[in-house]
C-alpha cells in the first residue's frame, strides 16, 4: 500500500500504517480510548516487528525504552491518562535519552468522550522537556510519524506524538508515502553514564537535556508543521494550535476576516515565528484546546518586545475546558471584537419536544449486570461500592458504582474508606484487565494492612470497553498467539487472600450466596465473577437461546424491568383496569438471569 496512493483511513489506522512503514522494531501499549486502534490495526497488518499489549502503560513505556536502548526503533501507545501511569520512566527517560528512534503516542481526549479527565499532555512534554508534535488532521499524524523517528534519532530524544480524539477517530483521504524497509543494527551497548541514572550521572544528563533545548526548538520551528501567513496591512493576528487550527481557518474564511495567521503544531512553540507575527500586528488571539501553553509563550515573548504594546487574548475568551469547534471559536471571536460578524449558531432554535436521554448501557446479557444484581442483593443498597474503569463503570445505573477515580483505584479506595472507620460493608469491583493493570498491588496492600473488604473481580475474559483486547488472563497475545493463561485465583491467593471464590454470575442464587459469605468473612475477601463478555462470546459463535415472557403468568410486577436489561420492555395495559406485562425483544442474548429473578416463573427459554 506504500506507493503514493490515496486511501481512506481512520487517524489511528494512518498512524499504524506509518509505524509499519518506518521499519519499527517494537511497539507496545495498553488499550485506552482514543488510542487503542493503533495497535489493533498494526497487529492486523502483521508487520515484521514485535507488537504487544503490555499489562499497563508503565510496562509498555519501559519495553519501548529497552528496545530503543538496544538500538531498535520503538513506539509506545496509550491514552492521555495512561501517561500518568507511565510518568515515572517517562520523566527520567528525558535525561537518559534514546538510541533507536522512539515515539511516545499520547492520545488526548479533550471533551472527555471516553475518559475520566481531559488533561492536556502537551504539559507533560514541557515538564519532561521533550519535543511534542500536535497533529491537526489524520494526514499530519501520518506524516509526523516519519518526521518524529528522524528527529528522535538526530537528537537521541524521545518524541511525543499527541493526537486528540478528533484526529484518532477522524477519517480522511491519506496520501501514503513510498518507503523502503530499513534494518536497524540491534545490540545493547553499555553506556552507564546514560542508562544508569545514579545521581552523579543524572545531574550531568539534566544539564545536557537543558543544553539541547535551543537546538531542538530551532529545528522544530523550521519544520513544516508550523505555518505563518502574514497578511499585508493586517493589524490582527490569530495563533491557533493543533486541531483548533483547522477550525480557526474555517472561521476566518467564513467571516472573511483580515488577519495574519500562525498555525502551531510543535512544542516547545516556535519562538521565531511568534516574534515575527507579533512584530506585524497590534492585537493577538491565541486559540488552543485545553491549556494556555502557546498563550503563555506568546505573552512572555510579547513582554520582551520593549518597543511595542500588543493586546493579547487567549483563555480570557476561549474556554479552557471541553473540545473546541467552529461554532465556539466563531462566537468567541465575535464577542471579543475579532470579527464584526455575528455568529448565527447562537440563535439556533432547538426542538420543543422533550427528548429522552440516551446514556450508554451494559449490553443485553452482559455478565456485569448479573454480578451487580447479586452483589446488591447480598450487600444491601446501603453498602459502599467503590469501583473502577471498564464497561462495568456503567454499573452506576445499578447503584453499585460509588467511586471511579483512575485505573486500579477501586481496591485501594475501598481500603481507605474501611480504615477511616466506615462500618457499613464495603464491596468494590474491578475488571480482569484493570486488576492485572494496577489492581494487584492494591490487593496486596489490602491484605497486608488487614482491610476488611470484599473485592469482586469481574472477569469477563477480555478488555471489553476499549474494544475487546486480550490480556494475560485470556491466554492470547495481540497477535493471536497462545501464551500462558494467568489465573486470577492464584494471584489473589498469592497476595495472601484467605477467602477466594470463583462464581458464575448467571447462576443468580449461588452468586448471592457466595457474596453473602464474602461479606461475613473477616478480612479481605475476593469473589471472582467469571463469565465471558457477551460480545466476544457471540463472536466465537456461541448463541444461547433467547427468552420470552409467558403473558398469562406475568403478573406485571416489573421486577425484571428493574433489572435494567435493554431487551426487556414493559407493555402497559391497553384497557384500563387490566394489568400490563413484560415483553422481551429480539435483543435478548439468552443469559437467563431475568428468568431467575421473575417471582412468577413467567420467563422461559424460547423453545
Partner 1 sequence: MIEFDLVIVGVGGQGAILSSDIVGLAAVNSGVPVQASETHGMAQRGGSVENHVRIGLTYGSLIPKRQADCILGLEPVEALRAVDYLSSGGVIVVNTNPILPITALSGACEYPDVDMMINELRNYCKELVAVDANSIAKQAGHPLTANVVMIGALSKFIPLSVEKLEESIRRLVPPKTVDVNIEAFRLGRLQ
DSSP 3-state of 332: helix
Question: Which residues are CB-neighbours of 90 under 8 A, at least 6 positions away?
Answer: 61, 83, 104, 124, 128
Q: What are the grid coordinates assigned to 267, written together?
A: 512544542
Q: Which of partner 1, ligand SF4, none binds 398 (CB below 5-8 Å, type-dependent)? A: none
Q: Which does 547 bind (CB under 5 to 8 A by kind): partner 1, ligand SF4, none?
A: ligand SF4
- Measured CA to CA, the distance from residue 190 to residue 196 in angstroms comes to 10
Closest approach, Cβ 40 to ligand SF4, in A, equals: 16
Give whichever of 201 and 583 is closer to ligand SF4, judged by the CB atom.
583
365 binds, among partner 1, ligand SF4, none (CB under 5 to 8 A by kind): ligand SF4
Binding status of residue 172 toward partner 1 by CB under 8 A: yes
Our CA dihedral for 575, 577, 578, 583, rounded to 10 degrees, sits at 80
Of residues 393-432, those binding partner 1 (CB under 8 A): 394, 397
Query: Which residue's CB is nearer to ligand SF4, number 104 or number 374?
Result: 374
The verdict on 197 binding partner 1 (CB under 8 A) reads no
Closer CB to partner 1, residue 85 or residue 168? 168
- What is the footprint of ligand SF4 within residues 460-489 (CB under 6 A)? 460, 464
CB-nearer residue toward ligand SF4: 239 or 401: 401
In the list ligand SF4, partner 1, none, the entry touching 534 (Cβ below 5 to 8 angstroms by class) is ligand SF4
At residue 22's C-alpha, the angle toward residues 192 and 152, to 5°, is 40
For ligand SF4, the closer of residues 164 and 476 by Cβ is 476
Residues 259-262: contacts with CB under 8 Å, at least 24 apart:
259/231, 259/234, 259/338, 260/228, 260/229, 260/230, 260/231, 260/234, 260/236, 261/227, 261/228, 261/229, 261/231, 261/237, 262/226, 262/227, 262/228, 262/229, 262/237, 262/238
On whether the CB atoms of residues 170 and 37 are closer than 8 A, the answer is no
Contact by Cβ (8 Å): 135, 163: yes
Number of residues that bind partner 1 (CB under 8 A): 56
Q: Label the pairing between strands 499-503 and 454-459.
A: unpaired
Q: Which does 368 bind (CB under 5 to 8 A by kind): partner 1, ligand SF4, none?
A: ligand SF4
239 CB-contact burial (10 Å; exposed 0-12 / middle 13-18 / buried 19+)? buried
Q: Is 368 in the site for ligand SF4 (CB under 6 A)?
A: yes
* Nearest one of 64, 61, 123, 68 to 87, comparing CA atoms: 61
Closest CA relative to residue 35, chosen from 545, 469, 399: 469
Q: At what angle do helices 326-335 and 242-255 cross, to 10 degrees?
A: 60
- Of these, 32, 97, 170, 364, which contacts ligand SF4 (CB under 6 A)? 364
Taking CB under 6 A as the criterion, which residues in 535-554 touch ligand SF4? Answer: 535, 547
Residue 327 is a binding residue for partner 1 (CB under 8 A): yes
Q: How far is the CB of 456 from ligand SF4 (least distance, A)?
A: 14
**Residues making contact with partner 1 (CB under 8 A):** 6-8, 10, 33-34, 37, 113-114, 136-137, 166, 169-173, 243, 246-247, 249-250, 325-327, 330, 344-345, 348-351, 353-363, 391, 394, 397, 465-467, 561-562, 564, 566, 568-570
**Residues making contact with ligand SF4 (CB under 6 A):** 362-366, 368, 391, 460, 464, 533-535, 547, 565, 567-568, 584, 588-594
Amino acid at each position: 500500500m506504500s506507493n503514493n496512493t490515496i486511501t481512506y483511513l481512520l487517524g489511528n489506522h494512518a498512524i499504524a500504517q506509518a509505524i509499519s512503514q518506518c521499519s519499527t522494531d517494537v511497539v507496545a501499549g495498553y488499550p485506552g480510548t482514543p488510542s487503542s486502534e493503533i495497535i489493533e490495526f498494526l497487529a492486523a497488518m502483521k508487520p515484521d516487528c514485535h507488537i504487544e499489549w503490555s499489562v499497563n502503560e508503565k510496562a509498555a513505556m519501559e519495553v519501548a525504552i529497552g528496545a530503543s536502548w538496544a538500538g531498535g526503533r520503538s513506539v509506545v501507545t496509550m491514552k492521555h491518562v495512561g501517561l500518568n501511569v507511565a510518568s515515572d520512566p517517562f520523566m527520567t527517560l528525558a535525561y537518559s535519552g534514546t538510541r533507536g528512534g522512539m515515539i511516545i503516542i499520547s492520545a488526548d481526549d479533550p471533551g472527555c468522550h471516553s475518559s475520566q479527565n481531559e488533561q492536556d499532555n502537551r504539559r507533560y512534554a514541557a515538564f519532561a522537556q521533550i519535543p511534542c508534535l500536535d497533529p491537526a488532521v489524520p494526514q499530519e499524524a501520518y506524516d509526523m510519524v516519519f518526521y518524529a523517528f528522524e528527529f528522535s534519532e538526530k537528537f537521541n530524544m524521545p518524541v511525543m506524538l499527541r493526537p486528540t480524539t478528533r484526529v484518532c477517530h477522524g477519517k480522511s483521504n491519506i496520501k501514503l508515502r513510498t518507503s523502503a524497509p530499513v534494518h536497524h543494527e540491534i545490540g545493547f551497548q553499555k553506556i552507564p553514564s546514560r542508562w544508569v541514572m545514579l545521581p552523579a550521572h543524572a545531574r550531568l544528563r539534566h544539564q545536557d537535556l537543558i543544553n539541547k533545548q535551543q537546538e531542538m526548538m530551532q529545528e522544530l520551528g523550521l519544520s513544516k508543521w508550523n505555518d505563518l501567513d502574514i497578511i499585508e496591512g493586517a493589524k490582527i493576528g490569530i495563533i491557533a494550535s493543533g486541531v483548533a487550527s483547522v477550525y480557526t481557518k474555517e472561521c476566518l474564511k467564513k467571516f472573511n476576516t483580515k488577519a495574519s495567521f500562525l498555525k502551531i503544531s510543535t512544542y516547545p512553540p516556535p519562538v521565531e515565528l511568534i516574534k515575527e507575527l507579533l512584530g506585524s500586528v497590534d492585537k493577538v488571539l491565541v486559540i488552543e484546546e485545553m491549556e494556555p501553553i502557546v498563550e503563555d509563550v506568546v505573552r512572555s515573548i510579547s513582554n520582551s518586545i520593549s518597543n511595542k504594546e500588543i493586546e493579547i487574548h487567549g483563555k480570557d475568551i476561549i474556554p479552557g475546558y471541553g473540545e473546541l469547534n467552529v461554532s465556539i471559536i466563531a462566537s468567541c471571536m465575535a464577542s471579543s471584537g475579532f470579527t464584526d460578524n455575528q455568529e448565527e449558531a447562537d440563535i439556533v432554535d432547538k426542538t420543543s419536544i422533550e427528548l429522552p436521554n440516551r446514556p450508554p448501557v451494559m449490553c443485553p446479557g452482559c455478565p456485569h449486570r448479573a454480578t451487580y444484581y447479586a452483589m446488591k442483593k447480598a450487600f444491601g443498597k446501603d453498602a459502599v461500592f467503590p469501583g473502577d474503569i471498564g464497561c462495568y463503570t456503567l454499573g452506576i445505573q445499578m447503584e453499585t458504582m460509588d467511586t471511579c477515580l483512575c485505573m486500579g483505584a477501586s481496591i485501594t479506595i475501598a481500603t481507605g474508606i474501611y480504615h477511616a472507620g466506615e462500618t457499613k460493608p464495603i464491596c468494590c469491583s474491578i475488571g480482569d484487565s484493570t486488576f492485572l493493570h494496577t489492581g494487584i498491588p492494591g490487593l496486596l496492600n489490602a491484605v497486608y494492612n488487614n482491610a476488611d473488604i470484599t473485592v469482586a473481580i469481574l472477569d469477563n475474559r477480555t478488555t471489553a470497553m476499549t474494544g475487546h483486547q486480550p490480556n494475560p488472563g485470556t491466554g492470547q497475545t495481540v497477535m493471536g498467539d497462545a501464551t500462558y493463561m494467568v489465573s486470577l485465583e492464584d494471584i489473589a491467593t498469592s497476595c495472601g487472600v484467605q477467602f477466594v471464590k470463583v462464581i458464575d454470575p448467571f447462576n443468580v442464587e449461588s452468586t448471592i450466596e457466595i457474596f453473602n459469605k464474602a461479606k461475613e468473612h473477616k478480612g479481605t475477601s475476593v469473589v471472582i465473577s467469571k463469565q465471558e463478555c457477551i460480545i466476544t462470546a457471540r463472536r466465537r459463535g456461541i448463541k444461547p437461546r433467547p427468552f420470552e415472557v409467558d403473558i398469562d403468568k406475568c403478573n406485571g410486577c416489573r421486577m425484571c424491568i428493574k433489572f435494567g436489561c435493554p431487551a426487556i420492555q414493559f407493555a402497559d395495559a391497553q384497557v384500563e383496569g387490566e394489568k400490563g406485562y413484560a415483553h422481551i425483544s429480539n435483543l435478548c442474548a439468552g443469559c437467563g438471569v431475568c428468568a431467575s429473578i421473575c417471582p412468577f416463573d413467567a420467563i422461559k427459554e424460547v423453545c
